Amino acid sequence: MMFFYRLIMSGVAVILCSGLSIGLAHATELSSTRLPYHSSLKAASQEKKIRPSVKFTPVNSSPQNTYPIILVHGLAGFDDLYGFFQYWGGLTDIEKDLRKRGYHVYTADIGTFSSNWDRAVELYAQIKGGRADYGAAHAKKHGHDRYGRTYPGLYPEWGKVDEKTGKVNKVHLIGHSLGGQTVRTLVQLLEHGDKNESAFKKGVGLSPLFNHEQKSWVSSVMAISSPHDGSTLTYQIEEMMPKAQQLIAAFAAISGNRSFVDYDFKLDQWGLKRHPGEPFNDYMKRVCKSSIWKKTKDSSEWDTSLPGAIELNQWVQAQPQVYYFSVGTEQTYRSPFTGHEVPELLMNPAFYSFSFYMGKYTRNFDEMIVDKGWFKNDGMVNTRSMAGPTMGSTDLIVPYNGTPQIGKWNYLGTMKSYDHVDIIGMGIRDMRPWYRGMAALLASLPE
């Protein structure tokens, strides 16, 4: 339980600290590292000048599809807080910006610390509409409720045949961090279902997500800063943000309410639904004291560990009719004294201790060796893990050359000097133009 308490506090603190940094030019200093960080507007101005090293060029000169884009958050994520702070954009709104430019865009809001299976189920229900059905076999195995929340549907037409075109309504899935693993899992279930669910009680009351009727409802997957092979950070969540509860209270003060934080873990299937008006600290304590963290692998903790990622990679595979893209991030440099990777000056201070730890972590497992190739990171995830799944996987990863290869991971490259939340707009740099380029690329893919 203590590990998950620290993991939860870590994730929430990182997100909230990022929010507090914006608008203050990140004039924050992390006492445990004593590294100056955005101590002046000049430093913030320098960061704004760092341009994306990954750029997008449409495959065709004109749009080839109008499929909606679904934005899927990562660990500790949300859609928005207090109606003004966005996961995708921070104080800017990437979804709104893309909508203004004619794209159909929706932001999902799924379990913050749930497993990729549970999150994929929730994502399916949110897009299509209906009640989240985690599966009878899965629920029995892991000891939680079979059913979760009911959703009206972001795009109820998903999967139906368009009467005008005669083609299936598909979507583009963009996942950040854990969201990259989640969207891969959803595509796998759509295409192949699950044999355990089909066999359980002979499939009585089986969710359409788990049957074996192939559903080619996804045009593309875009994974950003995703731990496809896991993150070594899962082996050391001991060094948390100091005084994380004060950070949470400070963020709540933005809305003028110090006793209430607009944040929901979305763990209803575990009997941990937030009560109306329940103070965040009380809710968080109830979640952290739950016995579920002692007895299950059905969590993001397991899925983002290296063995958990291998387990996921063994059954979640790239599908031959889906375009897969990946983007990496990093904001560290090699120390000439130790040979370790250390955080760049402009990295978000919330990530300093994490980055130092990952930048030197080595370990020999039975099935793998973690060596210096894992050192480079973005403060939360090892860059080596972001191109696509390799450990336990048969997926092919190719450098993107301007012509996307369907059914393979097209690695677009690494965003240099971007930390884990810079890439989604929780930083000084305005990421809206970058996502416009991404949307243009996806719209140019053949139907």
Kind plus residue range of the DSSP H or E element containing 150? strand 147-151
Q: Residue 239: what pLDDT? A: 41
Q: Long-range pairs for 130-134 at CB < 8 Å and ≥24 separation?
A: 132/269, 133/207, 133/209, 134/269
User: What's the rounded mean pLDDT across residues 377-387?
Assistant: 97
CA distance 50 to 322: 32
pLDDT in tens, 181-209: 999 999 999 999 999 999 997 777 899 99
The DSSP 8-state label assigned to residue 220 in this structure reads E
Asked whether the predicted pLDDT for residue 384 surpasses 80, the reply is yes
pLDDT in tens, 85-143: 899 999 999 999 999 999 999 999 999 889 999 999 999 999 999 999 999 999 999 99
Contacts with 274 (C-beta within 8 Å, 6 or more apart), sequence order: 264, 265, 283
Lowest mean pLDDT among 126-130, 245-249, 251-255: 245-249
User: What's the rounded mean pLDDT across residues 319-340?
Assistant: 98
CATH number at residue 198: 3.40.50.1820
Asked whether the predicted pLDDT for residue 4 surpasses 70, the reply is no
Half-sphere exposure of 351 (CA within 13 A, CB side): 29
Reported confidence tier of residue 292, pLDDT bands at 50, 70, 90 = confident
**What percentage of the chain reaches a pLDDT higher than 70?**
84
pTM as predicted: 0.90
What is the count of structural domains for the chain? 1
Asked whether the predicted pLDDT for residue 400 surpasses 60, the reply is yes
260 Cα distance to chain centroid? 25
Contact 279, 285 (CB under 8 A): no
Active site residues: 177, 378, 420
Q: Which residue has the higher pLDDT, 230 or 256?
A: 230
pLDDT in tens, 6-16: 554 455 555 55
CB atoms within 10 A of CB 99: 14
Reported confidence tier of residue 263, pLDDT bands at 50, 70, 90 = confident
Helix axes 244-254 and 280-288, enclosed angle (nearest 10): 140
Q: Residue 12: what pLDDT? A: 52
Note down the domain range covering 135. Answer: 2-443
Please state, rounded to an integer, the average pLDDT across all residues of the chain: 86
Q: Residue 279: what pLDDT? A: 82
User: CA-CA distances (angstroms) from residue 37 to 1, 337, 350, 417, 419?
Assistant: 33, 22, 11, 14, 13
Q: Residue 249: what pLDDT? A: 45
